[in-house]
Amino acid sequence: MKLKFKEKFFYGLGDLSANIMFAAISFYLLYFFVNVGGLKAELASAVFLIAKFWDAFTDYLMGRISDKTKSKWGKRRVYMLFGAVPYGLAFLLLWIAPFGESAQVGKMIYYTLAYMLFNTAWTVVYIPYNAITANMTDNYDERTSLNGIRIALANVGIILGAALFALFADGQESLFYKLFGNAKHAYLMSASIFAIISIVIMLLCAGNIKERVDDAEQNDKGFFVTLKEFFKLPEFRNVMLCYLLSMVGFDIIMAVFMFFINDSLGFSGGAMAMVFVAIPLVCAIASSFVWVKLSEKFNKHKVYTIACVYMAFVLIFAIFVPAKNIATTILLCVFAGFGMSAIQILPYASVPDVVEVDEYVNGTRREGAYYGITQFMYKVANGVSIALVSAVLGAFGYIESTDGTAIQQPDSALLAVRIVLGALPGVIFLISIIFSRRANLSRERFATIKAELDIRRAKTQNTNEENND
């Protein structure tokens, strides 16, 4: 089933909207908690862990709810339409810095509850958004194309949410810091602007896409039965492990990147931080269509393997980049950006294919439950990985700030930042290659599965028509 470019573009806008907020959170929230909110790094790790475990639980629940939803706005679009405003407003609560310098427990409780609320609002919108991919088309190559455009626009969202956030709020050189003379106000103003933009763009996305593929028996099975049946599928196990590892690797890069730029390299934020955040993302956008074309011509696994080895090699140089060396830092960002898009696109393009494999084997179509479990697993992995990164920084002596001003960090903390960025994600990407190879679902096998499903659906439709007669 072919999709028009216009619809693919509007679908991609949904990830642009989500990634404006996701990027701000991924690049700055840990940094904000520690260096503006004044929360100790060890306590910040607990905030991420608790909030993400809650988020993981709600993801599966939302997936099941969307599977059973029937409305004139569709089973997925309805949540994107009516959930956009709440998820934008909940985003604002994350960027408030309450309580005094010594009120660590109060800060931890506030940020935990605020992050749990945001994650819930995000889940209501983003789980249906993810699941609707399988409802829009069942064409193997169209899904790769759809996800290629989606990732390209997601990276535009990341640029807006990360690079512009740096320009607006990061450090004393940022625009809003100069305007208000206060890092807390700078962050909150930036968050307000991004929340409004995200709401509007998500509404545009929801208003211009269609749900088409939804003519099979829906899921009436419980959580544990569903989970057991998913894990019996080798395609599910391997696609999920490849996807989770690729995502966790990037989560670690984003979580520690501002510590790397501002502390390890000694840049002062503002426009300079914006440049270093924007360069790899622009390069990722520019190279995304190249990776899509390569994956259409060659085996996806081979292309993904090359990208992972390349990224692991490039990231190693982050350990050795000299402080305040602009040229070397730019080169690192350029080369890293070129490999980023492949590791994002290729695992994600394989995720919706498992929906058909599940229906083929188990006789039930359950996109919502599938994407709910996918996000459940990802959120747990994300919470654990970011909590570990925060805990490592605290263990190596990272010193928190309460007003966004730079603090001279001990050498042990600066080295820890470099190693976490330069070594850990690369190792994770290399491990993911194993599961990418095992998960490789060929075009031929997918076509066979889809043809069999079409036959089954036609028989079911004929039976229903005969019964009605």
* Domains in the chain with CATH codes: 5-459 (1.20.1250.20)
Is the pLDDT at 417 greater than 90, yes or no?
A: yes
Query: Range with the lowest mean pLDDT among 117-131, 237-251, 255-269?
Result: 255-269
- Which neighbouring-strand residues pair with 218? 365
421-436 pLDDT tens trace: 999 999 999 999 999 8
Model pLDDT, residue 131: 76
Model pLDDT, residue 294: 83
Q: In terms of Cα–Cα distance, which of 315, 272, 62, 27 is closest to 157?
A: 27
Q: What angle do CA 65, 69, 75 make, to 5 degrees?
A: 110
How many Cα atoms sit within 13 Å of 197 on the Cβ side? 21
Distance from C-alpha of 223 to C-alpha of 64, rounded to nearest angstrom: 9
Model pLDDT, residue 216: 46
154-181 pLDDT tens trace: 878 888 888 888 888 877 778 888 888 8
Is the pLDDT at 330 greater than 90, yes or no?
A: yes
Q: Please, are residues 50 and 175 in contact by the beta-carbon 8 Å criterion?
A: no
Can you say whether residue 216 is alpha, beta or left, with left for phi > 0 and alpha for psi between -120 and 50 degrees?
Answer: beta
Range of 11-20, 150-159, 340-349, 454-463 with top mean pLDDT? 11-20
Proportion of the chain above pLDDT 70, given as a percent: 91
Q: Please, are residues 373 and 360 in contact by the beta-carbon 8 Å criterion?
A: no
CB atoms within 10 A of CB 181: 10
Distance from C-alpha of 92 to C-alpha of 103, rounded to nearest angstrom: 21
Within 159-270, residue ranges assigned H as helices are 164-169, 175-180, 183-206, 223-232, 234-259
Kindly list the distances between the CA atom of residue 219 and the CA atoms of 44, 112, 248, 368, in Å, as whole numbers in the listed order. Answer: 38, 33, 29, 9
CB atoms within 10 A of CB 99: 16
pTM recorded for the entire structure:
0.73
Range of 238-247, 274-283, 383-392, 424-433 with top mean pLDDT? 424-433
Is the pLDDT at 217 greater than 60, yes or no?
A: no
Q: In terms of Cα–Cα distance, which of 72, 40, 41 is closest to 392?
A: 41
> Which string of b and e fits 3-34 if b means at least 16 CB within 10 Å?
beeebbbbbbbbbbbbbbbbbbbbbbbbbbbb
Q: Looking at residue 319, what DSSP letter applies?
A: G
Q: Please, are residues 230 and 236 in contact by the beta-carbon 8 Å criterion?
A: yes
